[in-house]
Amino acid sequence: MQISVRQTAENENFDVAVLRYKCRKIMKVNDIVDFVAGDYGNAETVGVVGGVTVFVPFLCVGERAKVKINHVKGNVAYGDVVTVVERSPKREEPRCPYYGVCGGCSLMHMKYAEQLSFKQRKVQRNLTKIGKLDGVAVGRCVPSPHVFAYRNKLSLPVSGTVGNVKIGMYKRGTHEVVDMNNCLLGGLWSKKLVELFRDYLNQNEIAPYDEKTFGGEVRHIVARYIDGQLLAVVVSNGEFAHDLTEFYDTLSKNFDKVGLFVNINSGKNNVILGKITRHIAGLRYIESTHLGTTFRLRPDSFFQVNNEVKNAIYTQVRQMIDVADTEVLVDCFSGVGVLTNVLCSDAYDTYAVEIVPSAVKDADEMAALNHSPRLTNILGDANEVLPRLTAQNAGKRMTLVVDPPRKGLGEGICNSICKANFNNVAYISCDSATLARDLSMLTSRFEVLSATPYDMFPNTDQVETVVLLARRA
């Protein structure tokens, strides 16, 4: 009897399917398996054990480890390291005593050069797999000058019991708070703030928030520290019944310049800030100057968490605008206008588009502070504003800058950009997966000139990426 090539292929596929089925039956939760890290995923390593794809965090590529399986679904499993059998030369001892328990950092076990390689590969993989952009070569990840004490903002949950308050980060994969004396990413200012706030809550017997019962009084402490100025926000579960002037007085003895606020959030969700923020005492905003631009930041203002990397990104985008001979600049998702004011010039008209009224009000104030006569802040939806601006400036070389939130631009705004007559686009992204999705749509009208990752968040798996695009001929 003759067997066709098609039958042979079908038999082989069947055998593979049977093997995978058996593997599913064999591998189970709590199994200890021998694992070799073959590649990196989005926040972990990936390897194959007995035909099952296994994802394991806290390893370097090439390492061998004993791994305990904690979840199995089909031919995919997830596990945690029991012991590292063969260590990579790219591994180093994490400096943080909470590493592996706290859910904040995921790459501190890697030497810094390997962290940068991880992030470059992550962006490249997402652009290739999600965006189908096989021809785009991602550049090397630009390092952060500091890998510790770089964050100018922290949002820390509050938990525990009356008299025994916990303040820190959530335990990996849970909403259980890890009580921390110091987050190494924040530096000494955050260590001092947490110590003072924990003492204040314990001494005054103020109840921390309980996510299960929605009870308690204090949910978070949110703070930003820039150039010697501290803004601290106590996030209260409903109206706060205690006098915060005592806490303000304590802060004033430990920080030269401080402002204290209370934010009211009674929502039964994981959103950190509520809609109402009240000033208690001290500074009402932080005022400083970066890259020649004076800015003011209030408790709800968006501002990149790593000052030095922010400056490097904004400098690259500004250089791109100069090279592109820009005659009209449009900045979408402009927020309070920090990036807009860095990029604007007396040589061309600049339009900043933002949909949040309070942010536009702050942006108008910033434009006045920086004497930017050719800058216009526009309150509105980008889908409606972009076509109008391009029609008004027909025949001029137009550059668009977008810095959207983690969810990216989405189909609607991508279509608006493609239909508008922009010559160049600079896309600043904090999520390379949604960036890749958006680029798959934008490249119907634009070509990617460069894609550069920046290490805005050392020791974590998060990465900022700047992509420069030019309209196709």
β partners of residue 326: none
Tell me what pLDDT residue 42 has.
87
pLDDT tens digits, 372-398: 989 999 999 999 999 999 999 999 999
Q: Does residue 364 belong to any structural domain of this protein? A: yes
Tell me what pLDDT residue 14 has.
52
Number of neighbours of residue 351 by Cβ within 10 angstroms: 25
Write down the mean pLDDT value for the chain: 93
Tell me what pLDDT residue 421 has.
87
339 & 308 share domain: yes
261 & 188 share domain: yes
Q: Does residue 112 belong to any structural domain of this protein? A: no
Tell me what pLDDT residue 2 has.
45
In the structure encoding, which two tokens stand for residue 282, read together? 């001290």
169 & 282 share domain: yes
Q: Does residue 356 belong to any structural domain of this protein? A: yes
CATH number at residue 184: 2.40.50.1070
265 & 386 share domain: no
Nearest to 417 by CA among 451, 448, 386: 386
In the structure encoding, which two tokens stand for residue 172, read together? 């990996």
Contact 165, 198 (CB under 8 A): yes
284: domain range?
153-290
Number of domains into which the chain is organized: 3
270 & 321 share domain: no
Q: Does residue 309 belong to any structural domain of this protein? A: yes
Nearest to 124 by CA among 448, 460, 457, 406: 448
Tell me what pLDDT residue 9 has.
46
427 & 448 share domain: yes
Contact 209, 218 (CB under 8 A): yes
Q: Does residue 221 belong to any structural domain of this protein? A: yes
In the structure encoding, which two tokens stand for residue 293, read together? 């631009």
Residues of the chain predicted below pLDDT 50: 1-9, 23-24
Q: Does residue 333 belong to any structural domain of this protein? A: yes
77 & 193 share domain: no
End-of-domain residue from the set 250, 265, 290 = 290
9 & 73 share domain: yes
Tell me what pLDDT residue 1 has.
40
12 & 78 share domain: yes
222 & 193 share domain: yes
Model pTM?
0.91
